Structure 1
Amino acid sequence: MNPIVVIGSGLAGYSVARELRKLDREVAVTVVTEDDGAFYSKPMLSNAFALKKAPASLATAAAPQLAGDYGIEILAGHPVTRVDRAARTVEVNGRVLAYDRLVLAVGGRPIRLELAGDAADRVVSVNNLGDYRRFRQHLETHPRVALLGAGLVGCEFANDLAAAGHAVDVIDIAPRALPRFWPEPMALEFQARLAAAGVRWHLSESVERIDAAGDGLAIVLESGCALHADTVLSAVGLSANTALAVQAGLAVNRGIVVDRHLQTDDEHIYALGDCAEVEGLLLPFIMPIMHAARALARTLSGERTAVVYPAMPVVLKTPACPAVFFPSKLPGGGKWHVEREAAGMRAFYRASDGSLLAAALSGTCTREKDAVAKLLPALTGAA
């Protein structure tokens, strides 16, 4: 029998391989990846400075070790260029590889803003360990950072870089940091804490142009405000990597469209992680990936299993003001209710009938995340 082929060696891809091997010691599994196949925690990239982690120390296992540990084949450094659904094969660096079932765990791609200026092409993104290694090296001689995006990753990078002594300017078109995750009072407190740590905020702003200016960069905002930096880091978010799915003719919306069994409109092809849209949900966070990997492993081993997403905390790694959010579908008509403590805040988003739909915690209140999770509804119903 042909192997189960997993495209992608991030958390989603390797988690499926590991969970599947727990259930089935015999099935052949091949992981194909365009990078070196080393495993590392991607969320660590945005707070490695604070933890004094060098890029080389972030990789916890190399491809040969993982292949031995999981009893799988790993084809590293080989991008998949084509999926042939009729023949059930993929093309890997000129080689045709047949599959019994195919799992797409190809992640997301950094969103690139269309910017004017003769240095617009010098904007960098950090989406993998190689990007981070180059970014760290660049910062050694280019320490002032302008950061585009006040979302989860942008805020973590801002705190991390400021704590390491870098001058950091954060620019975002939103009126406050992380507006879709919490109410205004919590955002303002968060911004004040990071400002005290050295972060400069430029909110309700967008970048007009980026030009070379001597040894650095001149950044002009829409308001006319001018900033100077050595490095511009874009953290405006990821878009699902759907290129291979489009080439294969699979259904694609905001991500690769899959059902609760992580199955695409081809019965032999599945998707999970940052690239997958599960019944309308895009959840590019750690816990949803783990739930999906366990469910998909059971399906691939013969026990058809739908993924169930409970209320899941997302931990914001910002030591200046720790925070926890719970991803949810926020319907209109609800209202945030904020409670203040001496060194923290909690907020609950309730519908007009009083039912609890979402929550956010900051400061010392983050210790309540497990108790709060039990109060929140699941993102999906029972299978």
Structure 2
Amino acid sequence: MDPVIILGTGLAGYNLGKELRKLDQTLPLTFITADDGRNYSKPMLSTGFTKAKTADELAMQDAATMARQLNAEILTQTEVSAINPQEKQVTLNNGQHLSYSKLVLALGAAPIQIPLEGDTDKVLSVNDLEDYSRFREQLPEQARVVILGAGLIGCEFANDLGNGGHHVEVVANCDQVMPTLLPQKAAAAVQQALTEHGTTFHLQTSITAISDNDQALTVQLENGKSLTADLVLSAVGLRPRTALAEAAGLSTNLGITTDNTLQTSHPDIYALGDCAEVEGLNLQYVMPLMSCARALAKTLTGVETTVSYGPMPVMIKTPVCPVVVSPPAAGSQGEWIIDSDGLNIKALFQQGEQLLGYALTGNKVAEKQQLTRQLPALI
């Protein structure tokens, strides 16, 4: 019997493997990953400096250990160059063809690259364990770091790097932090707390050029200012990896499109995690990923199961100002009703009496559970 092949060994791939093994100990299972296959929790990448952890210390198991635990074959440092849905085969970068019974795309998302002029060798992104290792190796003590992007990841790294004793400046072409997640008052609370923690913000501007002067980087901004840095961390967002699926003729939109069983436009190919767009939703967070892993494991072991998304609040790792947010669905009609007390913000998005979303900061995060119960399911 040909194996179930899972492309990717991130949280999505490995958690699917764990869920499969709860249901079937002998199903042939093969993982293929372009990296070294170590098991780690990606959300920990933006808390590593606070915890003083190296990349090796963030890793929980190596690929050989995971292979034993999951009774699976794990091909590391291996890229898939093509998928042939008709032949039910994947082609590896060494030309080898592997047949599958079912194929699961757990390819994740790649950092969005903003084109910059000048010396960009020291512009790094941190999207996996190898990226984190490279970033730590190049970062001197008490470094000057310019972060490009003031979204969730940019703010988490600003807090984490500040905790690690580094000087942080954030550059973003928006008028508030986390503009796609938080209403203005909640965003202002987070920005104030990070500023008091030592982060300097340069909003409504962008980086135009970077020059390396041996001892430091000069970062030129659109507003005419120049900053001095040891490294630039690009954190402007992630784009689902869809190229392999597109080349195979699968339907894609923002992500690889699936129905509520996580089946793609081909009946033997499924997708989950950051690369997947499930019933029109591409949610790059842990909670939806876990729901998908549980449902897909049942489907792959013979019991077709639809995935359901209940309310899925997002905990943002900015401990100087704790934040939890459950954004209203795109296109929702309603208004924000905001109660503020310094850094403690309770923002409710309502349509009449119906709660559709919320954002809580500071001590208001204690109301998370009570408010989450009032929210409608996403799927």
With the shorter chain as reference, the TM-score category is: over 0.9
Identity within the alignment, %:
45
Whole-Å Cα distance in 1 between the matches of residues 28 and 324 of structure 2? 39
Query: Match for residue 242 of structure 1?
Result: 242
Distance 2:53 2:201 in 1: 26
CA–CA separation in structure 2 for the residues paired with 1:304 and 1:328: 29
1:117-150 CA-to-partner distances (Å, cap 9, x unmatched) read x213431111111111110011126811000011
- Corresponding position of 1:231: 231
- In the alignment, the residues of structure 2 paired with residue 260 and residue 189 of structure 1 have an alpha-carbon distance, to the nearest angstrom, of 37
RMSD, aligned CA = 1.4
Range with bigger deviation, 47-56 or 106-115: 47-56
Q: Which amino acid in the other structure matches residue 347 of structure 1? A: A
SS in 1 for 2:9: coil
Instruction: Give, in whole Å, the separation in 2 of the partners of 1:43 and 1:223.
Output: 33
Take 1:219 and 1:182, find their aligned partners in 2: how far apart are those partners?
A: 28
Match of 1:292 in 2: 292
Which residue does 2:194 correspond to in 1? Answer: 194
* Counterpart code for 2:335: K
Counterparts of 1:342 and 1:171, CA distance in 2: 25
Query: How far did 1:33 drift?
Result: 0.7
More divergent stretch after superposition (74-83 vs 96-105): 74-83
Note the C-alpha offset of 1:226: 1.4
Q: Residue 370 of structure 1: CA displacement?
A: 1.9
The one-letter amino acid paired with 1:82 is: A
Distance in 1 of aligned mates of 2:100 and 2:109: 23
The two structures have a TM-score, normalised by structure 2, of 0.96
Q: Tell me, in whole angstroms, the C-alpha distance in 1 between the residues paired with 2:370 and 2:95.
A: 52
Aligned residues of 2:189 and 2:342 also touching (Cα < 8 A):
no
Query: What residue in structure 1 maps to residue 353 of structure 2?
Result: 354
Question: Could you tell me whether the CA contact under 8 Å between 1:262 and 1:307 is conserved in 2?
Answer: yes
Q: In structure 2, the residue corresponding to 1:39 is in which secondary structure?
A: coil
Report the alpha carbon displacement of residue 212 of structure 1 after superposing the two structures with TM.
2.1
Counterparts of 1:101-116 in structure 2, within 5 Å, are: 101-116=102-117
Structure 2 matches for 1:238-277, cutoff 5 A?
Answer: 238-277=238-277
Structure-1 residue corresponding to 2:204:
204
Alignment-derived partner of residue 372 in structure 2 = 373
> Aligned letter for 2:48?
A
Over 3 Å counting, the alpha-carbon distance change for 1:371 and 1:332 in structure 2 is closer
Q: 2-side partners of 1:308 and 1:227: how far apart?
A: 47
1: CA distance, partners of 2:334 / 2:205? 28
Shift of 1:44: 0.6
Kindly state the Cα deviation for residue 332 of structure 1 after the two structures are TM-superposed. 5.2
Contact 2:328 2:349 in 1 (8 A): no
Is the Cα–Cα contact under 8 Å of residues 257 and 276 in structure 2 kept in the other structure? yes
Where in structure 2 are there 5+ consecutive unaligned residues? Answer: none
Shift of 1:52: 1.8
Q: Specify the code of the residue in structure 2 equivalent to 1:95.
A: Q
Q: 2:11 is matched with which residue?
A: 11
State the 1:170 CA deviation: 0.4
1:284-323 to structure 2, matched below 5 A, reads: 284-323=284-323
Amino acid at match of 2:356: L
1:119 aligned partner: 119
Contact 2:316 2:323 in 1 (8 A): yes
| Amino acid aligned to 2:357 | A
Q: Distance in 1 between matches of 2:355 and 2:221?
A: 39
Counterpart amino acid of residue 100 in structure 1 = S
**Post-superposition shift, 1:81?**
1.3
Q: Distance in 2 between matches of 1:213 and 1:65?
A: 44
Aligned residues between the structures: 378
Unaligned runs of 5+ in 1: none
Aligned partners of 1:328 and 1:379 also within 8 Å: no
Task: Pick closer, same or farther for the CA change 1:332–1:299 going to 2, 3 Å.
Answer: closer
Contact 1:330 1:357 in 2 (8 A): no
Residue aligned with 1:17, SS: helix
SS at match of 1:292: helix
Partner of 2:47: 47
Displacement of 1:204 in angstroms is 1.1
8 Å CA contact 1:311, 1:327 repeated in 2: no
